[in-house]
Structure 1
Amino acid sequence: MNSSQIPHFDYIFTGTGLASLMTVYKMVLSGKFSDKSILLLDQDSKKANDRTWCFWEKEHSIWNPIISKKWDSALFANEKFQRDLDLKPYSYNKINGLDFYNFVFEGISNQTNITFLNEKVTDINELETHVFVGTEGNRFTCKYLFNSIYTKAFAENQNKYPVLQQHFVGWFVKTKEEIFNPEEVTFMDFSVEQKGNTRFMYVLPTSKTEALVEYTLFSEKLLPKEEYEKAIENYLKQLGSDDYKILEKEEGSIPMTSYPFWEKNTKRVLNIGTAGGWTKASTGYTFKNSDKKSTELVSFIQNEGFKMKDFHKKNRFWLYDLLLLDILYHHNELGSSIFSSLFRKGNPKLIFKFLDEETSLAEDFQVIMKCPKLPFLKALFRVLF
């Protein structure tokens, strides 16, 4: 095939995870890209319910039709106390992965300028006037490429920025006994044995007998699978259930790092999603950040003469995240005490606003002053010197 026969697109998205699909969907909604050819490439056909996304919000968003459950109350607990958090005016929302995929693909399926190919990307090569993309069966070129295929080596083969994982195993269970409160999500329950790490249970109840129960760690190394599952078994027993059915399972590992992925952006290639640093480094939350960033991106590429390298801007929240990760990297056992000091008396609405990076400096100070001072001062010293 000579170069003139290679299909050319205005935009190619390599990987069709959350960030890519949000961006393309918003490009369609904007009505500004109907004259642009767009190609989506992914080896995964997006036909499985492979993950659950949660996020908090005050107003309805475009994702409201696919929210499967909302909670106005959340439980925070450790081995010494528990607190019911009134989240209003926020609600904590759950979206199933398959519902999201179906919603977006339905929204873009009648767009003749958008093509989705279920193919694995094998090669990306940026040239002066275009980007070449190879898959196992085809070759394409494009003017601009948005890449969401995560390269572990970028963050892990350096030692300037700490890298932790938010790793978890979750069971969707149906219990014989009524052990769940469907009106309250268990946001973080640190009452489980910490074993020198930051470990907690996370529960999304949909009825008195059904919930997603996840054993989650913020730490550097993953555990053997049976350790996660044993912890979920023990927790269900502690809640009062020995008799339950596992309806579905999910597992994952989300990188938590302040590594500046955006420095890999070039003239024609922009990294998005986890590959572009869109995951909130200190919490691993991805949905809300991707929602904001995708909106910014769609607006950004409508500007004449935009430069891909100008898209990302570092802010003070990046430093806050870096300090927390530095503490957890050097002293992983401190996670429970840091989060507990934040939630014991902190205002939940202010904490969510802070995690959304929408607080003023004065409000930042209110949140930060709830945290233990010495570990953060030591982390600041390590980061600076």
Structure 2
Amino acid sequence: MYDYIIIGAGASGLLLADALGSDAFFQGKKILLLDKDSKQQNNRTWCFWEAGDGAFDSILHRTWPKIHFAGRQTTLHEGIAPYTYKMLRGIDFYRHYLEKINGYENISFTNDEVISVAETEESVRINGKKETYSGKVLFDSRFDYRDLNMQKKYPVLQQHFLGWFVKVDRPVFLPNEATFMDFSIPQKGNTRFMYVLPFSETEALVEYTLFSETVLPKSAYELAIKRYLKNLNAGGYEILETEQGNIPMSCYDFSKENTNRILKIGIAGGWAKPSTGYTFYNSTKKVKKLVKYLKMGKPLSQFQRKNRFWFYDLLLLDILHRDNSLGQAIFESMFTKRSPRLLLKFLDEDTSLWEDIQIIMACPKWPFLKALFRRLL
């Protein structure tokens, strides 16, 4: 019988396991971390912005002091101090945190695939392919679109993307700035942009990203990247690695899945920022709050709380659900009228109410007023 079981050794699972293992309060607790994968491959990258030094600086792959935004009529190249845009490779994160977790005597990491979960009044039972496990509390990071798509109260979009790590013939990338959003590409009735993280003048991650309801055939992403590289006049290119992903964008109340013994975490717990899909840095904040909450002994079912930023995200997703082509105009208006530093602070949910109003006033008014009116009816 374990005190805590964590399903999933991704970002949220490893961060939570490390937080529990490093805190003296939980030293007497028996903890199990379960994942079907051994986490020995670089299967993803995480990016985030942060002011000053941070906990992940020693394992970062790359940082950028500036960002680039491009729209139909706007092109910005700006520094974002005191923030820095940071990139973390999955393999570096896994190795670092698995090594730390292996040093905690009260935590076990087991490779097994979860088949089913059953909850009783006294415990949670996890049936794996290899073994059966029992715990008093379960933190579950498994996500499934099924429950999300079955409800109609909140719109569901997807942030879906395919990226190529490329080496090109000509020096076309600016190594000191990350392309946050490039809307200069054809929108085709959707919210579509290129996301570029340069490592040198000739090497970069070039990613074709959409905020929309449905995904595209793989060939459509690949064609868009090819055209983008051609328009950059990059010449020939070599694909070094690829990555593909899909992040849900919804203000659905993920806490409905929680009980007093089971808490959904990570994307499955609604830890992804609904309006952007950024999850990693938000997960670090959620883990800190969760550990503090566990120490207070309060019911897990009451952990999640909505705030005003949730409502801002809801209005944006309502707009993009009704007319997905409006994304470019909304983001371009904000980046044109407000500084990137203020926008990043707002997306981090660290702004004051007055700063929120400044951001809101920079958005196209009519779509948001109509969205607000529909939600108030």
Q: What TM-score range do you get, normalising by the shorter chain?
A: over 0.9
The SS at the match of 2:249 is strand
2:175 corresponds to 1:182: yes
Q: Please give the alpha-carbon distance, in whole angstroms, between the structure 2 residues aligned to 1:208 and 1:268.
A: 51
Cα deviation, residue 90, structure 1 = 0.4
Q: Which residue is equivalent to 2:111?
A: 118
Identity of aligned residues (%): 51
Matches within 5 A, 1:307-346: 307-346=299-338
Distance 1:221 1:362 in 2: 36
Q: How does 1:1-385 map to 2 (within 5 A)?
A: 8-303=1-296, 305-385=297-377
Cα distance in 1 for residues equivalent to 2:117 and 2:52: 39
What secondary structure is seen at the aligned counterpart in 2 of 1:301? helix
CA contact (8 A) 2:21 2:106 kept: no
Partner amino acid for 2:130?
Answer: G
Aligned-pair distance for 1:359? Answer: 1.0
Matches of 1:272 and 1:200, distance apart in 2: 29
Structure 1 portions without partners, runs of 5+: 1-7
Q: Which amino acid is 2:313 matched to?
A: D
In structure 1, distance between residues paired with 2:23 and 2:120: 29
Deviation at 1:299, TM superposition (A): 1.5
**What is the alpha-carbon distance in structure 1 between the residues aligned to residue 177 and residue 217 of structure 2?**
30
Superposed CA RMSD: 1.0
Q: Write the letter of the residue equivalent to 1:43.
A: K
Q: TM-score, normalised by structure 1?
A: 0.96
- Matched to 1:340, the amino acid is E
Using the TM superposition, name which of 336-345 and 25-34 deviates more. Answer: 25-34
Q: Secondary structure at the match of 1:100?
A: helix
Per the TM alignment, residue 114 of structure 1 is displaced from its structure 2 partner at its CA by 1.1
Q: Which moved more, 1:28-37 or 1:354-363?
A: 28-37
Distance (whole Å) between structure 1 residues aligned to residue 7 and residue 334 of structure 2: 39
Q: Which moved more, 1:74-83 or 1:205-214?
A: 74-83
Displacement after TM superposition at 1:236 (Å): 0.7
Asked whether the equivalents of residues 258 and 264 of structure 2 are also in contact (C-alpha less than 8 Å), the reply is yes
CA distance in 2, matches of 1:64, 1:262: 32
Residue type of the alignment partner of 2:329: S
In structure 1, distance between residues paired with 2:183 and 2:292: 41
Letter in 1 for 2:229: L
SS at the partner of 1:91?
strand
